[in-house]
Structure 1
């Protein structure tokens, strides 16, 4: 969540765009995103140089040497954000518009990648040198505050706050998943160096970025020091689809600034024939949009095998899609609205049956409704399952998340109560959950019991509430106390009447 001084600075920056003539929120966000990317290229390049030095790896700065742009030879050092800040406004503006912007549009060396594809129609729209100077100064102040805040994904929070300013934000369920929830899901899945990871509703690529960071931090030697794994990590490991070109640009830039050289971020409507990927990925991480029903005719034919209804629900179709896109043995952690767990329609029951009978459903983690506040108050859950094609569900692990480390109101203030570390620890040691009682926060439920309950996956169907016996005093004692209290009240009233009479003025 963006609060306090950082929020005020972002609002002030937004005001600079507004008063300078850029009043379309989408234009403002795009221009901010480009400038953030240019800033991050400088910071990331410096970080990569330091990391390579520490690891003893060969690394060349992207700002070494010269580049020819529009028949003009330019030192790459002059294209760095830190160097731009030393220029006077007119020179800064000329360099940004005529050198830096063309430079970032050609970063992929002409490769036919998602990044080069979606940057080709990027346009620099800031109209004057003075406005650019004000914007860059304001952004430097914002970055200083972001550097001071080490408590979480401040950068992601900035994106979320910017997106909240779009009047249509959230209409299609496009709410950024909080970074600590993404991190929890990645830790549950424990990505491997040989995984092929996909998010079919990628947005700003938050899941892919977190998976990349997890691998780099937890499995650094296997990922970075093995030539084949490193090549896979940089080129083929991560794939994301989205239907919003702005999100695609942001997602591609986000991946590149996190060290992924050629991210596979593509324009696709994942639920249609635009997406032919089947039996391809070993891991899917996603929070698909919950936007109600779709046009039946637009849905890919093979996604009607299970969710066969004239008004297919998006969230149900995505679950079927995940199963289609996974390899045998592949695994998924995804967020679904609570209705998926207990919906009584034929389609709801069919997808739950498919997960349990023909694949391996491992876990249902119910999250409190405040997780997505202030942008949405929907109750959600995380489903964890493996594609097997032959079944394998024996017991399903349920966890009732009560706290995620933040207050569950619109403010989402940081608090101490946090179930996430416990969730990750218990999921990694499910053999120790066997003796847990239904009154505990987590427990295992046999497949047979779930089947008997029409494949209902709501935790309340299986959780038992332990009522504490309360001992009350005998009725006669309570009545006696009431009488004593009434006597005290009457005595007090009489004393008050006496005091009032004594204060009345005498007759003249």
Structure 2
């Protein structure tokens, strides 16, 4: 968010959350609540109120007072999510199971009045989608909301989009869509290069608006935020509320480009992926490993992907090793970016980006892997030192202009950040891809954090990593026991 006007409007909207806290509304519930109200207002501002059935609209809500307004709002939420009363599929999805946490009529009136007083003319000029995305970013940055797990930092998203170079006519997928940041950024990049789609013919422009993007998001509230984010950016493609690791994931289809930051941890309840087409990760509850298998299977031949994964995907034995070996056969895993710690709002885990291209055949596609270490000797990222676009400039220059990683590159040696490792060298490491060579002088990075929330996030990151190691060890023991058990 660089625009001052948009930041000012976001700050005004966010300040309203303090009014609602005494009504028992949490930070995350506040953004969901605000989504319903902003949707109605923005439909009015964009001249699309005809899509809202039964005469429901912003003015009909805003003009009411007291208990009548609150009761009208509750009825509105129910009707817009009712298949018998609403036919528009996007509106149905946004208001699915919608209900208000507001109990005091005065608080609803405070919200509608404050929204009405915003500078909507200027907001339209700057783009209502940018305004809404700014609100999502603010919510994610507020650790008390717990929303960071759904929000990938925009500088990282923009870096991956610039390197992957999405093209008009391509199917672009995010199987763990969150609030839609990757899809919105890819769309913005394409629109910039096509004069807002005006250089495309009618069929091509229709494809970009309605068919280019696919995705899934498991969490209903995050899915709701995603749909509104896409809609406000002029994207009518459907992102389903579904579990990609279930049979629903197969229905996402094949993609030319996958950009994603899958959830970390294990599948709820220790369950395993329920995908008939999975053969590598079907016996593990580790979600990030299963998402990597989905990505490889979902890519068209020649398709490319950039995916954020935690360190354990690079070094875990058994299923993890089988997955990496299989991936390097089917894909050209040409680049790994070791990301700095502390860049995710809700998690202190160590992460990486895998850049890969699906091979035209299924054999020996990875001949060498370039590793860029953006973790060693980096600042203590957090609230007082946020991630910026400039932090990725050197990596982008080293990566080069080819989205498949085939631009000329320079191995910077043991003292540099960018090095090349042959497939033979990787095999000698038992296909362990957790490769580091720089002496990290910032190992005590937690000691240099100053904000209590940043320190807490780092501690939680260590605890999560330790828990995942324990879960992985437990799975290994169980697998060994099953193998050793005599058959009946």
Secondary structure, counterpart of 1:397 in structure 2: strand
Pick from 299, 302, 320 the counterpart of residue 348 of structure 1: 320
Match of 1:14 among 8, 17, 22: 17
Distance 1:219 1:445, change over 3 A: farther
Structure 2 vs 1, CA of residues 122 and 403 (structure 1 numbering), >3 Å: closer, same or farther?
Answer: farther
Measure the CA separation in 2 of the matches of 1:280 and 1:178.
Answer: 26
Aligned partners of 1:69, 1:198: CA distance in 2, in Å? 31
State the distance in 1 between where 2:52 and 2:268 align. Answer: 48
Q: 1:440 to 1:127 in 2, by over 3 A?
A: same
**Whole-Å Cα distance in 1 between the matches of residues 416 and 322 of structure 2?**
29
Using the alignment, how far apart are the partners of 1:155 and 1:209 within structure 2?
A: 12
1:18-29 equivalence runs, <5 A: 18-19=21-22, 21-23=23-25, 27-29=29-31
1:141 and 1:377 map into 2 onto residues whose CA distance is 39
**TM-score using structure 1 length:** 0.70
Alignment correspondent of 1:159: 136
Task: Please give the alpha-carbon distance, in whole angstroms, between the structure 2 residues aligned to 1:114 and 1:415.
Answer: 33
Describe how 1:123-138 pairs up with structure 2 within 5 A: 123=99, 126=102, 130-138=106-114
Distance 1:264 1:337 in 2: 28
> Which residue in the other structure is 1:442 paired with?
418
Q: How does 1:318-329 map to 2 (within 5 A)?
A: 318-329=291-302
- Report the Cα offset of residue 12 of structure 1: 4.4
Unaligned runs of 5+ in 2: 442-488
Alignment match of 2:358 (pick from 384, 387, 398): 387
Q: Does 1:229 align with 2:232?
A: no
> Hey, what's the Cα distance between the residues in 1 that align with 2:51 and 2:251?
38
SS in structure 1 of the partner of residue 179 of structure 2: coil
Change (3 A) 1:84 1:224: farther
| Greater Rg over alpha carbons, structure | 1
Q: What are the residue-to-residue correspondences of 1:42-57 with 2, within 5 Å?
A: 42=44, 45=46
Summarize deviations over 1:197-225 as a string: whole Å, max 9, x none.
11111111111111111111133376763
Structure 1 residue runs of 5 or longer lacking an equivalent are 46-60, 468-508
Counterpart among 230, 233, 240 of residue 266 in structure 1: 240
Partner of 1:396: 369
Q: Tell me: CA distance 1:378–1:440, structure 2 relative to 1, closer, same or farther (3 Å).
A: same
Counterpart Cα distance in 1 of 2:379 and 2:89: 41
CA displacement 1:251-274 (0-9 Å, x = unmatched): 1111000011x2312121111123
Say if 1:358 and 1:391, in contact at 8 Å, map to a contact too: yes
TM-aligned CA distance change 1:67 to 1:433, over 3 Å: closer
SS in 2 for 1:384: strand
TM-score (ref. length: structure 2): 0.73
Paired residue for 1:54?
Answer: none
The residue aligned with 2:170 is: 195
Measured against aligned partners, the alpha-carbon deviations of 1:3-28 in whole angstroms (never above 9, x if no partner) come to: x9999856642232233x35355543
1:169 equivalent to 2:146? Answer yes
Structure 2 Cα separation of the partners of residues 115 and 190 of structure 1: 31
Change (3 A) 1:98 1:122: closer
Partner residue in 2 for 1:307:
281
* Alpha-carbon contact 1:407-1:415 (below 8 Å) kept: no
The reply to whether residue 317 of structure 1 matches residue 290 of structure 2 is yes
What is the total number of aligned residue pairs between the two structures? Answer: 427
Match of residue 231, structure 2, among 236, 239, 256: 256
Q: Deviations over 1:12-56 (max 9, x none)?
A: 42232233x35355543321111233344455x3xxxxxxxxxxx
Match of 2:409 among 425, 433, 443: 433
8 Å contact from structure 1 (residues 353, 455) kept in 2: yes
Q: Distance in 1 between matches of 2:376 and 2:228?
A: 32
- CA 1:360 to 1:302, structure 2 compared with 1: closer, same or farther past 3 Å? farther
